[in-house]
Chains A and B, each alone.
Chain A
Amino acid sequence: MKEIVAIIRRDKVPEIKQVLEDLGYPSLTIQSVDGRGKQKGAMCAEMDSEMPDSYCTAAKLKPTPSTYALEHTLPKVALYVPKRMLTIVVPDDVVTKIVKSIIKVGYTGKHGDGKIFVAPIGGAVRIRTGEMDGEAIA
């Protein structure tokens, strides 16, 4: 069993739900989360030109670009972007298929399309019947 954690755009949720249903794996958990990635949230592009070198020369430096943005209350600064997190637990053999279809549907080509993580799951129980592992997610 594998757990697929997909952090995707909010408006792609209905489409992805439909695709998962078509594949025969309709079960999922949806959470509303805030995320940030390599672009460090949604800071406007113009900010970079005004920013002193000490803030942007290297990521290793202590006053980070986000610190600068917060201290100077630049317009349109958001440390986080709202996202939807889908958690799906599926058998090993369909992981690639599901990941591929999530990528296909969630793709827009712009930054912020999200990430998908695949992690192992040790066990599962269906609470209603007490079925274990494979049967629990069937």
Chain B
Amino acid sequence: MKMIRAFIRPEKEQEVVLALEGAGFPSVTKMPVFGRGKQKGLQVGPVHYDELPKTLLMIVIDDEDEKKVVKLIHEKAKTGFIGDGKIFVSPVDTAYTVRTGEEGL
């Protein structure tokens, strides 16, 4: 299994989540985060924003769906401007459902 952590623009969150649901991946955990990237924040005139608000979507999926989900998030979250975010993929050993106690997604 793989855990996908996508840092995306907050205004793109719903679009991404609905697209994921349409592709058969309805399960998502989201949390608001603040971050900065290569551009070291944002300079608007005299004002410097060091950390910018982003939404973090956390999705755990089977290995074979990784490319599909990453591609989908990429397509939907893309605006072409700096600050679109990053997607990270990390391994997950096991998943348990609390209600049933069973292993697997």
Contact = CB atoms under 8 A, between A and B. Distances in A.
Interface stretch (A19-27, A44-52, A102-110, A127-135): A102-110
B83 to A, nearest CB: 22
B98 A102 contact: yes
A60 interface: yes
Contacts of B96: 99, 103, 115-118
Interface in A6-24: 6-8
Interface string A54-70: 00000111111111000
Given A119-B91, A119-B93, A103 B26 contact: no
A66 B23 CA distance: 13
Interface centre among B1, B90, B94 (most CB of A within 10 A): B94
B92 A118 contact: yes
Contacts of B24: 59-60
> Interface on chain A toward B: helix, strand, loop, or mixed SS?
mixed
Contacts of B58: 33
Contacts, number: 102
B60 A115 contact: yes
Contacts of A99: 96
Interface size grouping (class) on chain B: 20 to 34
Contact of B94 (A6, A33, A40, A118): A118
Contacts of A80: 30
Contact of B97 (A63, A108, A115): A115
B93 A37 contact: no
15 contacts: A2-B93, A35-B30, A40-B26, A59-B24, A65-B21, A66-B26, A79-B14, A79-B17, A85-B31, A113-B97, A115-B97, A115-B98, A117-B60, A117-B92, A120-B91
